[in-house]
């Protein structure tokens, strides 16, 4: 019986460690804290995060325009651009913005939930 108790405890500790790494370590700045490098500005084109989806999935902005992501999900999400920057991890109610200084299509995803993808088209 002792072996099973230690095995169960080990499994619980392992699950807690995996959860902490996936959801709690190295998160984004809290609301009001300095954003991650490359993620600055406020206002502009809004992108909502709800039901494990970026909405709209493809946003538009002008050169020097700002896009702001706001997390309305109970789960944390990231806004991580292919090739950078990583705008950090957003808890429910948090938002982050990025100013786009060049034209192009910028694709991003949530690294916690990789099926969540989006893009910003800057003209």
Query: Residue 46: which CATH number?
Result: 2.60.40.420
Question: Given this model, what pLDDT does residue 77 score?
Answer: 97
Question: Reduced to 3 states, what is the DSSP secondary structure of residue 118?
Answer: strand
Q: What is the pLDDT of residue 29?
A: 38
pTM of the model: 0.70
Structural domain boundaries, residue 89: 28-122
Residue 10 covered by a domain: no
Strand spans (E) along the chain: 45-50, 53-55, 58-61, 65-71, 77-81, 86-90, 95-100, 104-109, 117-122
For residue 16, being part of any structural domain is answered with: no
Q: How many domains does the chain have?
A: 1
Measuring CA to CA, how many Å separate 58 from each of 6, 20, 49, 84, 91?
49, 31, 13, 18, 22
pLDDT tops 50 at residue 56: yes
Q: Is the pLDDT of residue 89 over 80?
A: yes
């Amino acid at each position: 019986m002792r072996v099973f108790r230690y095995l169960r405890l080990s499994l619980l500790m392992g699950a807690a460690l995996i959860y902490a790494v996936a959801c709690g370590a190295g998160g984004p700045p809290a609301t009001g804290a300095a954003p991650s490098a490359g993620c600055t500005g406020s206002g502009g084109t809004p992108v909502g995060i709800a039901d494990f989806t970026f909405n709209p999935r493809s946003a538009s902005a002008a050169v020097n325009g700002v896009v702001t992501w706001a997390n309305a999900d109970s789960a944390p999400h990231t806004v991580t651009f292919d090739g950078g920057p990583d705008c950090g991890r957003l808890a429910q109610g948090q938002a982050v913005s990025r100013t786009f200084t060049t034209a192009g299509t910028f694709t991003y995803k949530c690294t916690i939930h990789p099926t969540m993808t989006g893009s910003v088209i800057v003209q």
